[in-house]
């Protein structure tokens, strides 16, 4: 039995739900679907230019898991570009039974991506 999927911190959101060729009037239902995890990984690695280690820490996953997520997302983007398909982008939805995000240093619950102890000026 595989391990349960851990929760990922997703702070970015796409400006649109689909992205496709100009010639295409409506989104194709058979185009690749970019998951919220994949969108966030691509945003952190390619848009913000973060190294995998730092981006993985921001998402709350290991560097190896981050590498798999970003590789999968980049593959879907490449497929859409090469084949002329509409890339559909899923909105961030919390997984059922998802635990609240916790600071990796002090294990406090994270509200807005910031450690509560750091907000108070204290050191975790």
pLDDT surpassing 50 at residue 124 = no
* 32-49: average pLDDT: 92
DSSP 55-97: HHHHHTS-HHHHHHHHHHHHHHHHHHHHHTPPEEEPPP-PPTT
**How would residue 121 be classed by pLDDT, with cut points 50, 70 and 90?**
very low
CA 76 from chain center: how many Å?
14
Same domain, yes or no, for 103 and 54?
no
Whether 37 and 77 map to the same domain: the answer is: yes
Q: Which residues make Cβ contacts (< 8 Å) with residue 51, sequence separation at least 6? A: none
Total domains present in the chain: 2
Does 55 map to a domain?
yes
Task: Give, in order, the Cα–Cα distances in Å from 99 to each of 20, 88, 111.
Answer: 35, 27, 12
Q: For residue 114, name the pLDDT band (cuts at 50, 70, 90).
A: very low
In a domain, 79, yes or no: yes
| Residue range of the domain that includes 50 | 18-93
Res. 35: pLDDT tops 50: yes
Q: What is the pLDDT of residue 94?
A: 46
Output the pLDDT for position 6.
Answer: 64
Interacting residues of 113 by C-beta distance below 8 A, sequence separation 6+: 9, 11, 101
Does 46 fall in a domain? Answer: yes
Look at residue 3 and tell me if it is in a domain. Answer: no
């Amino acid at each position: 039995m595989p391990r349960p999927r851990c929760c990922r911190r997703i702070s970015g959101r796409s400006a649109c739900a689909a992205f496709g060729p100009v010639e295409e009037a409506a989104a194709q239902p058979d185009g690749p679907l970019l998951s919220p995890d994949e969108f966030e990984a691509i945003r952190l690695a390619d848009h913000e230019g973060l190294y995998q280690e730092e981006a993985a820490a921001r998402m709350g996953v290991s560097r190896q898991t981050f590498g798999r997520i970003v590789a999968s997302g980049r593959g879907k983007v490449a497929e859409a570009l090469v084949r002329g398909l509409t890339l559909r982008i899923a909105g961030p939805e919390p997984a059922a039974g998802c635990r609240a995000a916790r600071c990796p240093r002090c294990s406090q619950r994270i509200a807005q991506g910031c450690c509560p102890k750091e907000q108070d000026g204290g050191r975790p």
